[in-house]
Structure 1
Amino acid sequence: MAARVIAQLIVVGSGMMIRAFAQAYRQALSNASKTGAAQEVAQNIQRAGKAITESEARQVLGVAENSSWEEIMQKYDNLFEQNAKNGSFYLQSKVHRAKECLEAVYQSKSEGTN
């Protein structure tokens, strides 16, 4: 008899805890969407995943700091095609991210000189 009462208390208590946790979680999500925190976190995660430094980009493409944009594009095309044929998708995406980074650097330099 006592075991049955204890089992019922555990089942009822567990159910109440689960419902309370679910309600608290829904409220937290609601609060995060109202303040925009959820969108900000998602954007920061996306930015962090794509971030590559200029020096890393130059190492990936094998170009020096004084390289011309034409030389960078030639290296990019060569490496991208090599990895498209018989390389890895990871390396191909690394090469693409490196080109994007250097493209932004060269654009900012050209806008700064105008």
Structure 2
Amino acid sequence: MAARILANLLAAGSMVLGRAVVQAYQKALQNANKTGVAQEALNNMQRVRKTMTEQEARLILGIGEKTTWEEILQKYDALFEKNAKSGSFYLQSKVHRAKECLEAAYQSKDGQPS
């Protein structure tokens, strides 16, 4: 009998606690929207998703500023294949994004990658 009463008290208490947590979360969201904190957090998240810089792309591919487009393609092919064999999709995608970044940089400088 005592165990049943204790179980009922625990169940009722957890329900009350659950409702309080939900209400507190909703109130926090309302306050964040009023003060602009939510918008600031969204802006910070967008800054994190920045595009790759040309310098970062060169570091990933291991090339210098005077590297020709043919050398970039050779380095890209070698690194892309190496990561394809080792199974590192993350590194493979970084190498691909680096090539895309440099391709855009070369197109804006010369009109077309050589």
Task: Judge conservation of contact 1:57–1:98 (CA < 8 Å) in 2.
Answer: yes
User: Which TM-score applies when normalising by structure 1?
Assistant: 0.56
1:43 aligned residue: 46
User: Which TM-score applies when normalising by structure 2?
Assistant: 0.56
TM-aligned CA deviation for residue 22 of structure 1: 0.3
Per-residue deviation, residues 59-113 of structure 1 (Å, max 9, x unmatched): 32232201222321232123212322x22323312211221232333344347xx
1:68 aligned residue: 68
Percent same amino acid at aligned positions?
A: 57
1:98 aligned residue: 98
**CA root-mean-square deviation:** 4.0
Per-residue deviation, residues 28-67 of structure 1 (Å, max 9, x unmatched): 456768977375455344x15xx54433322322322012
**Structure 1: runs of 5+ lacking an equivalent:** 1-6
Q: Distance in 2 between matches of 1:104 and 1:16?
A: 57
Q: Which has the higher helix share?
A: 1
**Structure 2: runs of 5+ lacking an equivalent:** 1-6
Aligned residue-pair number: 107
Change (3 A) 1:31 1:43: farther
